[in-house]
Structure 1
Amino acid sequence: MNPSPSSAGRPERNAPTWDLASEIVVDPASPEPLYFQVARQLRAAIEDGRLPAGARLDNEVDMAARLRLSRPTIRQAIQSLVNQGLLVRKRGVGTQVVRTKVTRPLRLSSLFDDLVGLGKQPESVVLRNRVEPATTEVGELLEAPGLARVRRITRVRLVDGEPLALMNNYLPDGIVDPADDELRDRGLYQLLRSAGVRLHACQQHIGARLATEEDADVLREEPGAALLTMQRTTYDDTGRVVEYGWHVYRASRYSFNLSLTNGPQ
């Protein structure tokens, strides 16, 4: 049933609020970023039920004042939880908890995993696998302001001897240190899991564009051919970003199949 015009956009009267000032403690001397400290404690409150589904957070200005932090710090903390699907922003209502507890880690799969599941034997050509200085933009993509070094990986994924995708990834330095042989023989998510990283959730954007001459040369397509694009930010079970990827796929040989469910009403 659609809400009537008079009730649409009103805050839920019974949605509980939470006294974050008495619950959240931040340590400016900690090497952990301030936004991450706030996000980590909010996440813990959501998962143990102190912040139940429907609970509202104070607005960013009030939260910043009560915690004696800057508004951008609070905004980044909230956005990281929005990206993970734990919070949602609603016009006229504010920021609310979406779910109270994650019952099990979400199963994330890489292109390598998907191809193996289809009975294929994927191959990879490693074009780049190195640690380099992290720019401000890369630090923002990995939600890690001040990040000094990042591992950059570029591969071409092939199946049946034909290129299928050009894959680029940024990872915070130190999470995993794969050799080229490992990247040829295994998927990145397999390597992360083997290193003890507990993958939890991701934020993914799918789009399309036309192949450049460089794309066409790598993927054996004609310049101007249709390509699918994907950007993915992957989080572990602590809410830390462990990988940012931007990939292009040959639309003539690959498609995305999505299952959709009802979201919060």
Structure 2
Amino acid sequence: MRTASEPGSPETKRRVVRRELLAMMDGLVAGEALPPERRLAEELGVSRPTLRAAIDRLAADGLLERRHGSGTYVAEPRIAVPLTMSSFTDDMIRRGMKPDGRVLSFRTEPAGAKIGRRLSLSPVEEVFTIRRLRLADGASMAIETLYMPKELLPGLRRDDLEGRSFYELLRENGVVVASGRETIEPTVTTTEEAEVLGVPVHVPAFLFERVAHTEEGRPVEYVRSLYRGDRYRLEIDLRPAPH
């Protein structure tokens, strides 16, 4: 391996180390560990602070993952998520991945004030509250909490949503989602969320909140989805504003 001990500024050395690390990662698969920092620094001919700075930048880019007390590993590739009106299932299929889901909880309860406002229901009207773990190629991707007016699909059962797309289920029952409004904000995982997703506590995540409507403007769902920040990146198509 070439060494990175060529002359130049600290920033130049970090760029050289980054190039060397990227070349090394080409021969590794996701989840495979890099050599220990002491050995890497000796092989590359740089100081450990310079090496750490390069690794930190690769970790920030989502290419490497630091595990406390364990080492540095090649990160799982992030999935680009376009901001369009589509289901998790459709997004994963478009990326050549196998979508799946596991129902964590399924219950019927009064909408209450908050959920009632979002679904245009009175607080006493009943909703289905369904919490699911979303998977792609067997790996955890997101925790989704779905609220839906019970009268929309009164015979809905827990098994109906095991490994299935909710939008597909709606279409089969003559309900077509035509529009929606979604907000996205950065957050971190709680202890319980981290345990479900199989990630460390307080890792970066995206919180999606969406209300979807039929063509007649009737709300059909309010969804809160927590996506792993280490597996997702957002993709936006930009066009000039009309003059």
Compute the TM-score of the two structures, normalised by the length of structure 2. Answer: 0.61
AA paired with 1:131? T
Please, which moves more after superposition, 237-246 or 157-166?
Answer: 157-166
Cα separation, 2, equivalents of 1:178 and 1:263 = 43
Unaligned runs of 5+ in 1: 1-106
2:219 to 228, 238, 241: 241
1:228 to 206, 222, 231: 206
Structure 1 pair 235/262, CA: closer, same or farther in 2 (3 Å)?
A: farther
Equivalent residues in 2 for 1:4-153, closer than 5 Å: 108-146=85-123, 148-153=125-130
How high is the sequence identity, in percent, across the aligned residues? 32
Q: Which residue of 2 aligns with 1:51?
A: none
Deviation at 1:264, TM superposition (A): 6.5
3-state DSSP of counterpart to 1:108: coil
Deviation at 1:146, TM superposition (A): 5.0
Larger radius of gyration: 2
The answer to whether structure 1 residue 160 and structure 2 residue 137 are counterparts is yes
Cα RMSD (Å) = 1.8
AA paired with 2:180? C
Q: Which residue of 2 aligns with 1:250?
A: 228
AA paired with 1:140? R
8 Å contact from structure 1 (residues 178, 191) kept in 2: no
Structure 1 pair 264/136, CA: closer, same or farther in 2 (3 Å)?
A: farther
Cα separation, 2, equivalents of 1:128 and 1:260 = 38
1:182-241 alpha-carbon deviations (Å, 9 max, x no partner): 312311111111111121111000111011111110111111100111000101010011
Unaligned runs of 5+ in 2: 1-83
AA paired with 2:190? T
The answer to whether structure 1 residue 209 and structure 2 residue 164 are counterparts is no
Compute the TM-score of the two structures, normalised by the length of structure 1. Answer: 0.56
Deviation at 1:154, TM superposition (A): 0.5
The structure in which a higher percent of residues are strand is 2
AA paired with 1:159? A
**Runs (4+) of structure 1 moved beyond 6 Å?**
none
8 Å contact from structure 1 (residues 153, 168) kept in 2: yes
The answer to whether structure 1 residue 174 and structure 2 residue 146 are counterparts is no
